[in-house]
C-alpha cells in the first residue's frame, strides 16, 4: 500500500503479476506454473468460494474486452498488495485487498471510514476493486483493456495508473525523489530507479516469498472452476 506514488500519479495525469514465469517484454501468466499441490484450506479460510469465482469471472470479462489476464493474475496482485486480506491496512489510511486510500474509496462510492472498509469481507470489497480497475482503464488506458497485457500492468494500476500506456523501460521514479525513496522494495534489481517492468519483477519476488499461500490460492481458484 503506497500512498505517495498513487498521489503523484494522479497529479501527473491531471497534467496530461512453485515456478513463477515473468518477462518484462512478454505476457506473464501466473497460471503457467508447477502443478498445484492439493491440501487442506488453512491460509485462505477467510475467503469464500464465491470470491474466487467472482475473481475468475472478472478476469473473463476483462479478457472479453481485450485484456490478457487470468484469475491467477488478479490473485497474484492481491497477494502482493495485501496477502489477499481485506482487513489489511497501514498507518497512512490505505487498506483492503488492493490498498486503496480514502479518496479512491470515496470516488468509488464508499462513504464509510477505514475501519468500515477493512471490516468488509473480500466478497464485499471486490465490486469496488473491480470498479477501481475499470475506472483506471478508462482514465489512464484510453478505455482500451488491451493495455492490461500481463499481471505487471494490472499491478501498475495500484501503483501509478497514469503510466499504463508507457513502455516497459519507462522510468517512473529515480533515487532521491519521494516516490522512489518510499518504494525502494519495487527496485528489485537495485538500479537506483523504478521502471514499469519492475512491476512484474516485484510480483515475482512477492509470490516467491509466500509459496504455501500462493499454492492454496491457486488451488481454491481451480476448485471453483471444477477442475480439481
Helix, strand, coil fractions of the chain, as percent rounded to 5: 50, 5, 45
Residue 108 pLDDT exceeds 70: yes
What integer is the mean pLDDT of 194-206?
Answer: 92
Residue 14 has pLDDT above 50, yes or no: no
Percentage of the chain surpassing pLDDT 90?
70
Residue range 44-82, pLDDT digits in tens: 999 999 999 999 999 999 999 999 999 999 999 999 999
Whether 41 contacts 220, CB under 8 Å: yes
Q: Given a cut of 70, is residue 228 above it in pLDDT?
A: no
Q: What pLDDT does 227 receive?
A: 59
Is the Cα dihedral 123, 2, 77, 25 positive or negative? positive
Q: Are strands 193-195 and 171-174 parallel, antiparallel or unpaired?
A: antiparallel
Query: Which candidate, 161, 168, 157, places its Cα nearest to that of 194?
Result: 168
Q: Is the pLDDT score of 109 beyond 50?
A: yes
- % of the chain surpassing 70 pLDDT: 85
User: Per-domain residue ranges for the chain?
Assistant: 3-223
Cα separation of 52 and 218, whole Å? Answer: 9
pLDDT for 3: 43
Averaged pLDDT score across all residues of the chain: 86
Amino acid at each position: 500500500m503506497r500512498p505517495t506514488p498513487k498521489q503523484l500519479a494522479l497529479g501527473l495525469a491531471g497534467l496530461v503479476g512453485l515456478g513463477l514465469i515473468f518477462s518484462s517484454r512478454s505476457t506473464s501468466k501466473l497460471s503457467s506454473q508447477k502443478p498445484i499441490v492439493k491440501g487442506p484450506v488453512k491460509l485462505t479460510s477467510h475467503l469464500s468460494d464465491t470470491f474466487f469465482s467472482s475473481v475468475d469471472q472478472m478476469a473473463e470479462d476483462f479478457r472479453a474486452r481485450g485484456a490478457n489476464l487470468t484469475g491467477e493474475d488478479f490473485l497474484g496482485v492481491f497477494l502482493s498488495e495485501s496477502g489477499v486480506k481485506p482487513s489489511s491496512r497501514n498507518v497512512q489510511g490505505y487498506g483492503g485487498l488492493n490498498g486503496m486510500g480514502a479518496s479512491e474509496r470515496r470516488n468509488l462510492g464508499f462513504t464509510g471510514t477505514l475501519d468500515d472498509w477493512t471490516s468488509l469481507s473480500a466478497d464485499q470489497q471486490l465490486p469496488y476493486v473491480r470498479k477501481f480497475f475499470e475506472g483506471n482503464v478508462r482514465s489512464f488506458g484510453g478505455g482500451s483493456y488491451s493495455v492490461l497485457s500481463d499481471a505487471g500492468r494490472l499491478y501498475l494500476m495500484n501503483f501509478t495508473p497514469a503510466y499504463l500506456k508507457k513502455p516497459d523501460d519507462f522510468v517512473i521514479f529515480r533515487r532521491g525523489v519521494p516516490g522512489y525513496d518510499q518504494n525502494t522494495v519495487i527496485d528489485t534489481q537495485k538500479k537506483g530507479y523504478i521502471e514499469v517492468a519492475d512491476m512484474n519483477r516485484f510480483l515475482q519476488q512477492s509470490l516467491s516469498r509466500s509459496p504455501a499461500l500462493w499454492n492454496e490460492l491457486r488451488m481454491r481458484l481451480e476448485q471453483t472452476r471444477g477442475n480439481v
